[in-house]
């Protein structure tokens, strides 16, 4: 594999990006790392002086007491009418450093993007690899610390830094009164650093560092207000479930090294030619990689952490659990396209699980009352869509949906953050203990938060798939690609559990359509209950509901603009509003070959059939909205404290099909019981401690006791010993 | 030193010994063994001591029969006449003479000790059977001739004051130490007198 | 007569060992030790007849040492008896442990 590296290096020596802004590539992740260090030092420095301190997240205004009544343990800041909550000592400096490094990183990424376009854009055949040092040269394994810049990673870098910068700016307003202000920004910056490592890494181990790092930051940020146990538990849950997926990633890396001998993307791409197409090795590698994706990107069966992750601050949910971290799995599959395209069975599994997750999560979202939970399940569902996309070999479609989803989901989350901010402010004024995130306590907020209202409707229409917003194009491309693969492709020819791939793919297509319908329904439901109808917040609180400051609504506007214009990234041929297939051509050198391999020479779908499918999708979206508008009546809602309990199937949906409870009984309790009784009490305390450690002591004492028995003080005994000794010596001499 | 006139050597045929000699040898030997057995089995210390004295007499006779007349005399004078007397003195002093409690251990001890004894006997017998180098063996009757020619004391005194002079001197110091030690250990302490 | 003498000596020695192991009276045990020494003396004398008078010289020394040992040993026993009026070995166990 050394020869491959040298070959890549030789090619690299003539890369079109040499000498351009791309040589500052290393600075892009370094800036957020710097922000992490500075903000972290500020946070630590503040801890040594009196003042509003961490980490209770509420010592200053006693949020522990005033929020005790909220069942789900989330905790947001708000203004007191009685006294101004003192801001953090270093809030000013943090407000500059925190978002500042992200904005700088984005500007730098944009410059590199421009350089890339000037150097040929989608025509650049080979990636630009910057090798910094040899990281792990161990025998046959040669891993370098290197960054790889190609069209795919450029796309991800732009999304991460761009959306990240917007969310950082939003957080300046959202978290302004939090005592943990610098700590929040340091964690957020650290997260962006790790995410950039993930997308820029030139080999799987570097990517894995980023993979694990974002998991860590997710834990830190979900449990940001860790003085409430529920928040800390949510953080732990996220990290532990992620770890299960990471195990899959590791096994995949081991298999890769064992069979191909290389772990860098260039080496793996070259080495896949040696693997048997569709063989057990490559299928195993892909399935284990997908296990990692299921953990990180919240697919069945490891999605359970994402709804609980809503315990963190809302901008965190926007950045990590909507736009960036959860999309790492999609990026991984796109990055490993050369492997996945060789394993149709694995791709079939990906498509199926993606489709099942999409419809499963959508059904749960139909009956959730917490606004953030609705969005969380929506995220899980949309991630399922992305996996359907990359699973069916339409890597470009999956990445396209990743980008557009980042825009409108971040907008939705930040918008809901705006709503929650207003609700919290109102409740603080009246010391109300109600749930500020429950939609039954909202209603009619369009009169109070008009800007947020309009922007969130834009996002809702986008996610439902109404043209010409971004979501329509990306969703539609996935559905179209899925249908086309069902008609003819290597996946369709594969078999899973004896059933031909074609059947599975059509089944997945119907599931995806069903999920689209439900998406439209529950998103419209969310909008109806939150913004329309009468206001249920309470007469005392109503005067205090008002729009958020510009530092928060500004990013919302930018995101809305992106949501509207995002579709232009990859326009289909039947809607030539601008350059057609921009993203297709941009990502061609990276995933083009893999996509062709999956299509396997099948003819593309006829234009008429394609238009028909598009029409079906739009109809479904519109039908969903119509169903929600006609059948749901916001006037019939009552505030949460007076709401009746759900019954029947509704109850099952509200309780998310009792999946957490099932996992608890089937997996967690047996594991805990085994660990406690068998491993701890049995083996550790009993065997190792008892037999080994204590046993060694007891044995020594026993030997000593035996020895002491000979020292009886009785001369007779000593005489005996003498006699026996004499016998022994004589025996040794005579019995030769 | 007064030397006894050299006596006529007792004529010994090669390899053949007078029957009387052999008879007496076995007689004294068996009496010695029997006395020893009786010695270890007596309950009364005085009786045991006296049986041991008897054993020593028999041994002295054996010494004489083995052409070690001087040693035989020493055995009687020193061992039986001094050491055993000291033993008897101590027994009498501690008033252990009459009706002592039984101090022989139980039957299992006897069996075990008997086994040990027989084992030692067997092993020693095995050693005895080993052949010695021919260069060491003296001609038959050499010791008797020596005694006949120079007297009984000279064969012992010669090596004692020539080859083993150092050991002799050290032994005298040892005796001094023993005397001092015995006096020190055995004297009456103040608190004992007060009782 | 060497072999017979050695045999008798071995038997006496074994009887001495038997006595040491079997008796609990300290003085009698001591006397058994003297018996063993006597057996060894017989061995020396027997060998002296066969291999030279060095054996008798050894007997001389053995007797001397036995005398010294008897004196000191009996002094010890007397001292013990003064401490505790017993010569039974099972009571003399301050060396225990």
Q: Is residue B6 less than 8 Å (CB to CB) from chain C? A: no
Q: pLDDT above 70 covers what percent of chain B?
A: 84
Q: What is the pLDDT of residue B193?
A: 57
Residues of B in contact with A725 (CB under 8 A): none
Is residue B8 predicted with pLDDT exceeding 60?
no
Residues A481/A389, Cβ–Cβ less than 8 Å: yes
pLDDT-wise least confident of A7-11, A118-122, A604-608, C66-70: A7-11
Q: What is the pLDDT of residue A72?
A: 35
Based on the structure, what is the number of domains in chain B? Answer: 1
Contacting chains of B (3 CB pairs or more, <8 Å) are A, C
CB-nearest to C56 from B68, B86, B114 is B68
CB contact under 8 A, B128 and C5: no
Is residue B2 predicted with pLDDT exceeding 60?
no
Residues A441/A396, Cβ–Cβ less than 8 Å: no
Q: What is the pLDDT of residue A78?
A: 40
Q: Is residue A721 less than 8 Å (CB to CB) from chain B? A: no
Q: What is the pLDDT of residue B128?
A: 77
pLDDT-wise least confident of A301-315, A425-439, A497-511, B36-50: A425-439
Which residue of A719, A721, A727, A735 to mutate against B (max B Cβ within 10 Å)? A727
Residues B79/C63, Cβ–Cβ less than 8 Å: yes
Q: Is residue B34 less than 8 Å (CB to CB) from chain C? A: no
Q: Is residue B65 less than 8 Å (CB to CB) from chain C? A: yes
pLDDT tens for the 97 residues of chain C, in order = 788 899 999 999 999 999 999 888 889 999 999 999 999 999 999 988 888 888 899 999 999 999 999 999 999 988 888 888 777 777 777 766 5
Is residue A576 predicted with pLDDT exceeding 50?
yes
Q: What is the pLDDT of residue A65?
A: 35
Is residue A538 predicted with pLDDT exceeding 80?
no
What are the structure tokens assigned to A648, written together? 């029947």
CB contact under 8 A, B123 and A727: yes
Residues of A in contact with B123 (CB under 8 A): 727, 730-731, 734
Q: What is the pLDDT of residue A681?
A: 83
What are the structure tokens assigned to A724, written together? 């026996």
Q: What is the pLDDT of residue B27?
A: 94
Intra-chain end-to-end CA distance of chain A, in Å:
67
Q: How confident is the model at residue A58 (pLDDT cuts 50, 70, 90)?
A: very low
Is residue A438 predicted with pLDDT exceeding 90?
no
Task: Cite the DSSP H helix spans in A175-261.
Answer: 181-200, 204-222, 229-259
Q: Find, in chain A, the residue whose alpha carbon is nearest to that of B104.
A: A716
**What is the complex's ipTM, to 2 decimals?**
0.91
Residues A477/A572, Cβ–Cβ less than 8 Å: yes
- How many other C-beta atoms are found inside a 10 Å radius of the C-beta of residue A733? 11
Q: pLDDT above 90 covers what percent of chain A?
A: 38
Give the relative orientation of helices A280-296 and A328-335 as an angle to the nearest 10 degrees: 160
Q: Is residue A726 less than 8 Å (CB to CB) from chain B? A: yes
Most confident of the following: A126-130, B10-14, B125-129: A126-130
Q: What is the pLDDT of residue A647?
A: 74
**Mean pLDDT within A409-413:** 94
Q: How confident is the model at residue B3 (pLDDT cuts 50, 70, 90)?
A: very low
Separation of alpha carbons A333 and A336, rounded Å: 5
pLDDT-wise least confident of A602-606, A612-616, B105-109, B117-121: A602-606
Q: Is residue B79 part of a domain?
A: yes
Q: What is the pLDDT of residue A71?
A: 36
Residues of B in contact with A723 (CB under 8 A): 116, 120
Q: What is the pLDDT of residue A537?
A: 80
Q: Is residue B73 part of a domain?
A: yes
What stretch of H or E contains A133?
strand A128-138
Q: How confident is the model at residue B13 (pLDDT cuts 50, 70, 90)?
A: very low
Q: Find, in chain A, the residue whose alpha carbon is nearest to that of C94.
A: A713
Measured in angstroms, the CA of C19 and the nearest CA of chain B are apart by 5
**Mean pLDDT within A647-674:** 84
Enclosing domain of residue B94: 15-99
Q: How confident is the model at residue B17 (pLDDT cuts 50, 70, 90)?
A: low
- How many other C-beta atoms are found inside a 10 Å radius of the C-beta of residue A713? 13
Q: How confident is the model at residue A675 (pLDDT cuts 50, 70, 90)?
A: confident
Q: Find, in chain C, the residue whose alpha carbon is nearest to that of A711.
A: C97
Separation of alpha carbons B6 and B23, rounded Å: 27
Is residue B129 predicted with pLDDT exceeding 80?
no
Q: How confident is the model at residue A76 (pLDDT cuts 50, 70, 90)?
A: very low
Burial A569-606 (b: 16+ CB within 10 A, else e): bbbbeebeeeeebbbbbbbbbbbbebbebbbbeeeebe
Please write the tens of the pLDDT for every residue from B131-176: 777 677 777 777 788 788 888 888 889 889 999 999 999 999 999 9
Class of domain C2-91: mainly alpha
Is residue A462 predicted with pLDDT exceeding 80?
yes
Is residue A83 predicted with pLDDT exceeding 70?
no
Which residue of A734, A735, A736 to mutate against B (max B Cβ within 10 Å)? A734
Size of interface B-C (CB pairs under 8 A): 233
Is residue A120 predicted with pLDDT exceeding 70?
yes
Average pLDDT over chain B reads 83
Bigger pLDDT: A22 or A472? A472
Please write the tens of the pLDDT for every residue from B81-97: 999 999 999 988 887 76
State the pTM of this model.
0.71
Q: Find, in chain C, the residue whose alpha carbon is nearest to that of B120.
A: C14
Q: What is the pLDDT of residue A693?
A: 86
Task: Cite the DSSP H helix spans in A536-648.
Answer: 550-565, 582-599, 607-631
Which residue of C17, C19, C80 to mutate against A (max A Cβ within 10 Å)? C17
Q: How confident is the model at residue A184 (pLDDT cuts 50, 70, 90)?
A: very high
Question: Residue B61 is part of a domain; what is its CATH number?
Answer: 1.20.120.1200
CB-nearest to B120 from A716, A726, A733 is A726
Please write the tens of the pLDDT for every residue from A165-182: 999 999 999 988 888 889
Q: How confident is the model at residue A241 (pLDDT cuts 50, 70, 90)?
A: very high
Which residue of A717, A722, A730 to mutate against B (max B Cβ within 10 Å)? A730
Intra-chain end-to-end CA distance of chain B, in Å:
54
Q: Could you tell me which of A455, A189, A435, A428 has the C-alpha nearest to residue A316?
A: A189
Bigger pLDDT: C87 or A163? A163
**Mean pLDDT within A195-216:** 94
Average pLDDT over chain A reads 85
CB contact under 8 A, B116 and C18: yes
Q: Is residue B119 part of a domain?
A: no
Separation of alpha carbons C40 and C37, rounded Å: 5
Q: What is the pLDDT of residue A21?
A: 81
């Amino acid at each position: 594999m050394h020869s491959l590296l040298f070959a890549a290096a030789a090619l690299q020596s003539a890369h079109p990006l040499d000498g351009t802004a791309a040589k500052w590539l290393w600075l892009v992740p370094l800036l957020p790392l710097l922000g992490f260090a500075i903000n972290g030092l500020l946070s630590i420095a503040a801890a040594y002086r009196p003042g509003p301190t961490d980490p209770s997240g509420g010592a200053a205004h006693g949020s522990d007491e005033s929020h005790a009544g909220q069942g789900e343990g989330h905790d947001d800041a708000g203004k007191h009418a009685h006294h101004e909550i003192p801001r953090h000592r270093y809030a000013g400096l943090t407000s500059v450093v925190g978002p500042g490094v992200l904005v700088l990183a984005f500007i730098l990424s944009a410059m590199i993007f421009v350089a890339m376009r000037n150097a040929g854009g989608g025509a650049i055949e080979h990636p630009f690899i910057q090798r910094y040092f040899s990281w792990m040269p161990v025998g046959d394994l040669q891993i370098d610390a290197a960054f790889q810049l190609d069209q795919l990673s450029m796309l991800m870098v732009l999304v991460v830094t761009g959306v990240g910068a917007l969310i950082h700016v939003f957080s300046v307003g959202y978290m302004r009164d939090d005592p943990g202000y610098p700590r929040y920004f340091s964690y957020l910056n650290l997260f962006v650093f790790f995410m950039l490592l993930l997308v820029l890494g030139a080999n799987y181990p570097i990517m894995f560092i980023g993979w694990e790092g974002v998991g860590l930051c997710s834990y830190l940020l979900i449990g940001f207000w860790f003085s409430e146990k529920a928040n800390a538990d949510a953080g732990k849950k996220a990290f532990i479930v992620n770890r299960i997926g990471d195990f899959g990633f590791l096994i995949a890396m081991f298999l890769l090294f064992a069979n191909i001998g290389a772990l860098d993307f260039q080496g793996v791409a070259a080495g896949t030619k040696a693997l048997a197409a569709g063989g057990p090795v490559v299928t195993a590698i892909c399935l284990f990689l997908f296990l990692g994706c299921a953990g990180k990107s919240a697919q069945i069966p490891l999605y359970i952490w994402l709804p609980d992750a809503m315990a963190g601050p809302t901008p965190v949910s926007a950045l990590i659990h909507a736009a960036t971290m959860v999309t790492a799995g999609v990026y991984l599959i796109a990055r490993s396209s050369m492997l996945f395209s060789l394993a149709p069975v694995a791709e079939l599994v990906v498509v199926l699980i993606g489709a099942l997750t999409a419809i499963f999560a959508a059904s749960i979202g139909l009956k959730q009352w917490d606004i953030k939970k609705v969005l969380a399940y929506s995220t899980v569902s949309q991630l399922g869509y992305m996996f359907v996309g990359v699973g069916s070999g339409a890597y470009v479609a999956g990445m396209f949906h990743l980008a557009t989803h980042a825009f409108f989901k971040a907008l939705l989350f930040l918008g809901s953050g705006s709503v929650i901010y207003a609700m919290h402010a109102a409740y603080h004024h009246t010391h109300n203990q109600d749930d500020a995130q429950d939609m039954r306590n909202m209603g009619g907020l369009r009169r109070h938060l008009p800007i947020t209202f309009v922007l969130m409707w834009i996002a809702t229409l986008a996610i439902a798939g109404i043209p010409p917003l971004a979501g329509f194009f990306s969703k539609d491309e996935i559905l179209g690609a899925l249908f086309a693969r069902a008609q003819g492709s290597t996946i369709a020819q594969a078999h899973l559990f004896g059933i031909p791939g074609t059947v599975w793919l059509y089944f997945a297509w119907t599931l995806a359509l069903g999920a689209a319908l439900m998406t439209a329904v529950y998103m419209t439901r969310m909008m109806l209950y939150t913004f329309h109808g009468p206001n249920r917040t309470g007469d005392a609180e109503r005067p205090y509901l008002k729009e958020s400051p510009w530092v928060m609504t500004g990013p919302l506007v930018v995101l809305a603009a992106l949501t509207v214009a995002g579709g232009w990234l990859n326009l289909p041929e039947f809607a030539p509003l601008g350059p057609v297939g921009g993203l297709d051509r941009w990502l061609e050198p990276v995933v083009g070959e893999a996509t062709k391999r999956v299509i396997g020479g099948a003819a593309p779908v006829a234009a008429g059939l394609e238009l028909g499918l598009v029409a079906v999708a739009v109809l479904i979206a519109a039908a969903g909205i119509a169903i929600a508008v006609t059948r749901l009546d916001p006037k019939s809602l009552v505030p949460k404290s007076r709401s009746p309990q759900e019954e029947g199937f509704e109850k099952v949906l509200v309780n998310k099909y009792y999946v957490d409870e099932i996992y608890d009984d089937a997996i967690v309790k047996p594991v805990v019981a085994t660990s406690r009784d068998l491993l701890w009490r049995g083996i550790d305390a009993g065997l190792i401690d008892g037999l080994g450690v204590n046993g060694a002591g007891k044995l020594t004492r026993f030997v000593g006791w035996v020895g002491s028995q000979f020292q009886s003080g009785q001369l007779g005994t000593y005489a005996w010993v003498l006699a026996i000794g004499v016998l022994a010596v004589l025996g040794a001499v005579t019995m030769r | 030193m007064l030397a006894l006139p050299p006596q006529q050597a007792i004529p010994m045929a090669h390899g053949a010994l007078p029957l009387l000699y052999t008879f007496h040898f076995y007689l004294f030997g068996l009496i010695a063994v029997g006395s020893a057995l009786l010695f270890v089995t007596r309950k009364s210390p005085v009786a045991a001591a006296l049986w041991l004295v008897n054993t020593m007499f028999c041994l002295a006779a054996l010494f004489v029969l083995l052409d070690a007349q001087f040693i035989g005399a020493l055995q009687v004078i020193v061992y039986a006449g001094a050491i055993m007397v000291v033993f008897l003195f101590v027994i009498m002093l501690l008033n252990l003479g009459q009706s002592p409690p039984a101090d022989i251990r139980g039957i299992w001890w006897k069996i075990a000790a008997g086994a040990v004894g027989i084992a030692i006997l067997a092993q020693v017998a095995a050693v005895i059977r080993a052949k010695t180098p021919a260069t060491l063996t003296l001609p038959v009757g050499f010791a008797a001739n020596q005694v006949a020619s120079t007297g009984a004391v000279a064969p012992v005194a010669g090596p004692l004051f020539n080859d083993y002079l150092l050991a002799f001197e050290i032994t005298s110091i040892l005796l001094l130490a023993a005397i001092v030690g015995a006096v020190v250990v055995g004297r009456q302490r103040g608190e004992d007198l007060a009782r | 007569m060497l072999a017979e003498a050695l045999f008798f000596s071995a038997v006496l020695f074994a009887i001495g060992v038997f006595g040491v192991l079997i008796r609990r009276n300290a003085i009698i045990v001591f006397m058994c030790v003297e018996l063993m020494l006597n057996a060894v003396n017989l061995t020396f004398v027997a060998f002296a007849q066969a291999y030279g008078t060095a054996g008798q010289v050894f007997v001389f020394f053995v007797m001397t040492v036995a005398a010294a040992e008897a004196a000191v040993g009996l002094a010890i026993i007397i001292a013990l008896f003064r401490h505790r009026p017993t010569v039974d070995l099972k009571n003399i166990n301050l060396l225990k442990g």
